[in-house]
Amino acid sequence: MSSSAGVTTTCELQTTVLEDGRRLNVIDTPGLFDFSAQPEFIGKEIVKCINMAKDDNLSIKMGGSAVSDNDEVRTVVLVGKTGNGKSSTGNSILQRDEFESKLAWTSVTRTCEMHTMVWEDGRILNVIDTPGLVDISDESECIEKEIIKCIDMANDGIHAVLFVMSIGICFSKEEEYAFKCLQKLFGSKIVDHMILVFTGGDKLESLTLDDYLNSSCPKPLKDIVEMCGNRRVLFDNKTQDKLKKSKQLDQLLCLVNEVVDKNDGKPYTNELFLKYQISNLKQSDASFEKQLSEEKAARLNVENEIHTLVVSCKIRLVLNRSCPKRELHSRICPTKCSSVWRI
């Protein structure tokens, strides 16, 4: 728009997200030589851009643009058993439908998928959905490899792992197995980054999540809650109540920040995953060597027993050839032979 007077009269900040996940904030300012306004007013308005940048922890660049660091970027990964509502929860977090979600016997999500949400204050949340951990339609090895891809998708690491369970489904061995699968894939320390998300909040009616867990919580589930530092939140993915949606999301984000603080701001990264894999390989090698050693010792014992048996047979054979029958019989059964000779 062309005008003799400045079109921009106040400082204005707009945010966009780059392809690699970085956030770019652009601040527009009034014209320096706008004769339609007092120079003092324009000067004060332009100075505001410094405060705008300071409030958002930005580094100021010439021209009014600024690039943020990654302190306000969070990445969460949804994991759990098929049918527990991971994709629906992802859509509730994003506040829009991005992940395909429908009732099905097998996992609707076949590959890892990431979508991003940007708040008005510039905060960024990356949400990664994954295939179901216990999906009988696929080989477990293929599923595990696909889930591991989420680490590569998270450029700045994973800040929280959301283990999704449904209160509408009884806690089973499959749930317990899915949890152990995560520990096997990412190491036991992954629990330090985990938050338990219980879907089916619409089914509790007047009950709270604490009421539900205290009244009918099996011991394996109690152990999981304890291992995850009692970090759990209830989600109602069917509600249309905006206040309820906002409240459950705020509770989740508070828990995400709690996880970040607990881990000194360090997310779960590809480097940590590789360290776990190396450690796992070393343990496997040590276990394999121990197994070989035990098998070798067992084989030697068998060989010794066979050798002893062979020597014993040879001795019997020699005695049988070199001694008369009665003498051999008396050596073998002296008592019986003595009684026979007495007759």
92 pLDDT more than 70? yes
Q: Which of 27-36, 224-233, 243-252, 253-262 has the lowest mean pLDDT?
A: 27-36
The per-residue DSSP string of 62-91 comes to: TTSEEEE-STTEEEEEEEESTTS-HHHHHH
What is the number of domains present in the chain?
3
Asked whether residue 243 falls in the same domain as residue 315, the answer is no
Average of pLDDT values for 202-221?
86
Nearest residue to 161 (alpha-carbon basis) of 118, 129, 122: 129
Give percent of the chain with pLDDT exceeding 70. 69
The per-residue DSSP string of 124-190 comes to: EEEEEE---SS-TTS-HHHHHHHHHHHHHH-TT-BSEEEEEEETTS---HHHHHHHHHHHHHH-GGG
Average of pLDDT values for 18-28?
71
Which residues are CB-contacts of 322 (< 8 A; sequence separation ≥ 6)? none
339 pLDDT more than 50? no
Asked whether residue 98 falls in the same domain as residue 117, the answer is yes
Q: Which has more confidence, 263 or 3?
A: 263
Asked whether residue 97 falls in the same domain as residue 239, the answer is yes
Asked whether residue 175 falls in the same domain as residue 263, the answer is yes
* pTM of model > 0.85: no
Name the residue range of residue 286's domain. 281-334
Asked whether residue 244 falls in the same domain as residue 286, the answer is no
Average of pLDDT values for 103-108?
52
Mean pLDDT, the chain, whole residue set: 77
Q: Which two tokens stand for residue 259?
A: 């996880």
Domain annotation covers residue 5 = no
Q: What is the domain-level CATH number for residue 221?
A: 3.40.50.300
250 pLDDT more than 90? yes
Q: How confident is the model at residue 222 (pLDDT cuts 50, 70, 90)?
A: very high
